[in-house]
């Protein structure tokens, strides 16, 4: 192992320890869901946005709020409703009669962490108000372009079981989320712990462990983590297999309407690097790619009507791709 990798490993171990502390702090409030908490931290390190999907009552909002409380950063919760307007998120210009001029009033999006609660309850024009902020880290308000302070992260939740009064996210919007995380029901043991924790008056407060500067430092270090050329080729083949499955001997061509976009390749590498960092390594292994592949790809592989009729899921398609593509 060369010296550069050794130095990267040393720094990765330091940052990994900090992430473990944050993880433990969140676990004081959230019971179970260890993997979900880890994925949120990976997204934070990778400077990505997260879409969290699950039925009501699974502590999606509480988990995101608790994460924000562990960081000395600004936080705002936006409850998406059908009557919300884009200006309610980004801000607008107000006419001042005294000096006969327009004043720009910034919206709640100008903070570090934005919780977009039940994002599929607002119409597409409101959902799209987040697009520029998520991609460019800036907002245009009637001709004025204003940068958003870093770090900036959008964490959106949506409920998959209701269709009445909801609007599916536009594909351009979905693709800007680094991860789509699915939250499932807790185990019976965790359910008992939840009952104890929340019905016996036990309050669990969390401490602020990371500053904005430390988060930005980790995000910069994440770019430096070593990913070998073979790892990059492995990622490129996984993404290419979602577009041209027949080239890789995959019998799933009739199930895929559109394969993953180039953003999938970028996030697979960045998320794999963050996964390596959380595990105290300064270099990426194929296992890191596999660990985050489902969360990066499940919302980027669009299925055909035939696949939906046969009740195939994106996760099943991803599993077949990962089984077929040779691991370096």
* Residues 293-310 pLDDT 10s: 999 999 999 888 988 888
Instruction: Select the more confidently predicted residue: 260 or 159.
Output: 260
Would you tell me how many other CB atoms lie within 10 Å of the CB of residue 69?
18
The CATH number of the domain holding residue 144 is 3.40.50.300
Query: Two tokens at 186?
Result: 């807790």
Q: Which of 284, 298, 315, 328 is nearest to 12 (CA)?
A: 284
The answer to whether residue 196 sits within a structural domain is no
47 and 171 both lie in a single domain: yes
pLDDT at 312: 87
Say if residue 279's pLDDT is above 90.
yes
pLDDT at 202: 67
pLDDT at 74: 84
Say if residue 94's pLDDT is above 70.
yes
Segment 140-149 mean pLDDT: 84
The CATH number of the domain holding residue 275 is 1.10.8.80
Q: What is the SS3 assignment for 198?
A: helix
The answer to whether residue 18 sits within a structural domain is no
Say if pTM beats, i.e. exceeds, 0.85.
yes
Whether 128 and 178 have beta carbons less than 8 Å apart is answered as no
177 and 240 both lie in a single domain: no
Burial 284-294, CB ≥16 within 10 A → b, else e: bbbebbbbbbb
Domain limits for position 175: 31-185
165 vs 122: CA distance, rounded Å = 9
The answer to whether residue 66 sits within a structural domain is yes
Q: Which of 52, 48, 50 is nearest to 61 (CA)?
A: 52
Whether 79 and 118 have beta carbons less than 8 Å apart is answered as yes
27 vs 63: CA distance, rounded Å = 9
The answer to whether residue 305 sits within a structural domain is yes
Query: Two tokens at 245?
Result: 């499955």
Segment 93-120 mean pLDDT: 85
The answer to whether residue 194 sits within a structural domain is no
Q: What is the SS3 assignment for 73?
A: coil
pLDDT at 181: 92
Q: What is the SS3 assignment for 116?
A: strand
The H-or-E segment that residue 32 falls in is none
Number of domains in the chain: 2
Q: Which of 32, 33, 55, 35 is nearest to 43 (CA)?
A: 35
126 and 61 both lie in a single domain: yes
| Lowest-confidence pick of 3-7, 60-64, 200-204 | 200-204
Q: How many helices and strands (H and E) does the chain possess?
A: 14, 13
The answer to whether residue 115 sits within a structural domain is yes
């Amino acid at each position: 192992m060369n010296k550069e990798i050794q130095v990267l490993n040393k720094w990765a171990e330091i940052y990994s320890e900090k992430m473990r502390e944050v993880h433990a702090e969140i676990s004081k409030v959230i019971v179970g869901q260890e993997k979900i908490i880890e994925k949120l931290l990976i997204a934070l390190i990778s400077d990505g946005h997260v879409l969290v999907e699950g039925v009501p009552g699974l502590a999606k909002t509480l988990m995101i709020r608790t994460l924000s409380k562990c960081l000395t950063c600004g936080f705002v919760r936006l409850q998406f409703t059908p009557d919300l307007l884009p200006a309610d998120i980004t801000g607008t210009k107000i006419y001042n009669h005294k000096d006969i001029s327009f004043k720009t009033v910034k919206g709640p999006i100008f903070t570090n962490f934005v919780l977009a609660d039940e994002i599929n309850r607002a119409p597409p024009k409101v959902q799209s108000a987040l697009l520029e902020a998520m991609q460019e880290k800036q907002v245009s308000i009637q001709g004025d372009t204003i940068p958003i302070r870093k770090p900036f992260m959008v964490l959106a939740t949506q409920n998959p079981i209701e269709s009445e009064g909801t609007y599916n996210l536009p594909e351009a919007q979905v693709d800007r989320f680094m991860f789509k995380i699915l939250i499932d029901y807790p185990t019976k043991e965790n359910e008992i712990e939840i009952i104890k924790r929340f019905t016996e008056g036990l309050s669990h407060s969390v401490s602020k462990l990371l500053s904005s500067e430390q988060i930005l430092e980790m995000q910069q270090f994440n770019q430096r983590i070593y990913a070998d050329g073979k790892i990059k080729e492995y990622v490129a083949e996984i993404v290419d297999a979602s577009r041209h499955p027949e080239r890789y001997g995959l019998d799933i061509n009739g199930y895929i309407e559109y394969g993953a976009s180039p953003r999938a390749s970028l996030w697979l590498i960045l998320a794999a690097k963050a996964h390596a960092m959380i595990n105290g390594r300064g270099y990426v292994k194929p296992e890191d790619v596999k660990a985050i592949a489902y969360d990066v790809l499940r919302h980027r592989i669009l299925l055909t009507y035939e696949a939906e009729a046969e009740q195939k899921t994106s996760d099943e398609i991803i599993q077949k791709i990962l089984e077929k593509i040779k691991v370096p």
